[in-house]
Structure 1
Amino acid sequence: MSDVVLSCQNLVKKFGGITATGNVSLQLARGARHALIGPNGAGKTTLINLLTGVLPPTEGRITLEGEDITRLAPHLRVRRGMVRTFQINQLFLSMTPLQTLALVVSQQRGLGGRFWSALGRDRAVAERAEQLLAHFHLAEVMDVPTEYLAYGKRRLLEIAIALACEPRVLLLDEPVAGVPAGEREEILQTVAELPSDVSVLLIEHDMDLVFSFANRMTVLVNGTVLTEGSPEEIAADPRVKEVYLGHGEEAAHG
């Protein structure tokens, strides 16, 4: 079995005359904790959109578990084990965390949308939902409609939904974006405790989270890879300090 679970080779994305992604190659190792960083406009989200099928590449190739998925539809990539979260919550505000997770678990297990009956009749669905609620610090608010949850709890629910899809590859798109400082610790702890068999690619501008989480880092600048290495190598690289770390957090969105 290959040690590389997700890779892209020479990915290019052009919007008219603008090259948003220029010959990006990246390999995500099995079980990796890999961070993708870069200043505003570096092309991080565009790259994630290419990897997940939201955008078709102009050139290049994407493989998942050794299979070419370059032209595969996004929902089929999810079925094959590639799941992402978003910078902005994609949640059902009128549903509770328990209802939401039961729905996702039911669909994952081929029960369709019959999660109301599944909660009562399928003990395995209820048990899995309860496990996720406990792991993501949501048990105490499991019956509260999502619209009334604190923003940090919504972010935790979003990551719990992603894990309910049983991913082999998880793409975390700025999990602490917009979360007040007092609510970040739960998210940082939860991200650190993600299952070791799930390979994670993290986009994040919070450098405390990046350096506490990642064992590998890729730096994007102007749609191209500037460098890649261990957190220690990235922190010591004068080019990274010049174009990114030295600019402060306000330059880190994108």
Structure 2
Amino acid sequence: MSSAETVLSASGLVMRFGGITATNNVSLNLKRGARHALIGPNGAGKTTLINLLTGVLTPTEGRIELLGEDITKLAPHKRVTRGMVRTFQINQLFDSMTPLETLALVVSRHQGLSAQWWKPLGSDKRVVERAGELLAHFRLAEVAEQPVKQLAYGKRRLLEIAIALACEPRVLLLDEPVAGVPAGEREELLQTVAALPADVSVLLIEHDMDLVFSFADRMTVLVNGTLLTEGDPEQIANDPKVKEVYLGHGAAHV
């Protein structure tokens, strides 16, 4: 498999809601192992584009391919089984469960053991080992047996990403991972995002320019539902069009 292989491709995506065009002929290619950021001011069409990629919306025009397969009309849950996972889709955690129980449940389901999830956790060594690996990687080991409702918000965000990784994605869409996280908890989250597995292709949707520029090796800028430009971080930071778009939006790097 070539390192330059495109794992996710969107071509000419158009999304119309009545007379409104929310996404206008947008194309995007995500390479294997990429760290790709999708940025743009509020109302740029980022959420619509992500909803198209993940199957929440079906495009008016255009095509989406995952690992060379046309998934344009595929249901969201089927995209997950084919390797595309979005943190935003995991929109709530089970407050009464612990991180260990939560991850054991997800790992069991992913490994085809969902009918047995209720068995004692120690009954399947594979589940316990994988859950333990995820707890360690996402800095959750010390809170593994605390009810989720007692976790600090940053830890809850880490657990959401851990759940996504438990599904063993080929493509991971991170939807504003640091949104709402207090300043004192951000560094741990930023370090964990930076240490995501190299073989997972990541598309980051984020307003925090510090995170974007420290994480991404490729960036796509959307404005008014249209692709403004794409390039590496240095090209984006020095692009006059991007500077104009972000003027007054507090983006220190641009």
TM-score, structure 1 normalization: 0.95
State the identity as a percent: 80
SS of residue paired to 1:48: helix
Tell me if the contact between 2:39 and 2:220 (Cα under 8 Å) persists in the aligned partners. Answer: yes
Distance 1:179 1:107 in 2: 29
Q: Match for residue 9 of structure 2?
A: 7
Distance 1:69 1:232 in 2: 33
Tell me if the contact between 1:87 and 1:175 (Cα under 8 Å) persists in the aligned partners. Answer: no
Tell me if the contact between 2:90 and 2:160 (Cα under 8 Å) persists in the aligned partners. Answer: no
Per mean C-alpha deviation after superposition, the further-off stretch among 90-99 and 190-199 is 90-99
Shift of 1:241: 0.8
Q: Match for residue 245 of structure 2?
A: 243
Q: Match for residue 123 of structure 2?
A: 121
Distance 2:62 2:115 in 1: 37
Please tell me the root mean square deviation across aligned C-alpha atoms, in Å: 1.3
Where structure 1 has 5 or more consecutive residues not aligned to the other structure, the ranges are 250-254
Distance 1:235 1:152 in 2: 29
Shift of 1:115: 2.2
Tell me if the contact between 1:106 and 1:118 (Cα under 8 Å) persists in the aligned partners. Answer: no
Shift of 1:147: 1.1
1:180-195 paired onto structure 2 within 5 Å: 180-195=182-197
Choose the corresponding residue for 1:45, options 44, 47, 53.
Answer: 47
* 2:133 partner letter: Q
SS of residue paired to 2:229: strand
Q: Match for residue 234 of structure 1?
A: 236
Tell me if the contact between 2:6 and 2:67 (Cα under 8 Å) persists in the aligned partners. Answer: yes
Where structure 2 has 5 or more consecutive residues not aligned to the other structure, the ranges are none
Shift of 1:91: 1.2
Task: Report whether the alignment pairs 1:17 with 2:19.
Answer: yes
Cα deviations across residues 218-252 of structure 1 (Å, max 9, x unaligned)? Answer: 00000110000000000000110110264216xxx
* 1:180 partner letter: P
Cα deviations across residues 103-125 of structure 1 (Å, max 9, x unaligned)? Answer: 00000000014223261210110
1:75-86 paired onto structure 2 within 5 Å: 75-86=77-88
Choose the corresponding residue for 2:74, options 72, 75, 86.
Answer: 72
Tell me if the contact between 1:155 and 1:175 (Cα under 8 Å) persists in the aligned partners. Answer: yes
Shift of 1:89: 4.1
Distance 1:102 1:245 in 2: 46
| Count of residue pairs brought into register by the alignment | 249
Tell me if the contact between 1:35 and 1:218 (Cα under 8 Å) persists in the aligned partners. Answer: yes
Tell me if the contact between 2:8 and 2:66 (Cα under 8 Å) persists in the aligned partners. Answer: yes
SS of residue paired to 1:86: helix
SS of residue paired to 2:114: coil
Choose the corresponding residue for 2:101, options 99, 102, 118.
Answer: 99
TM-score, structure 2 normalization: 0.95
Distance 2:35 2:200 in 1: 9
SS of residue paired to 2:132: helix
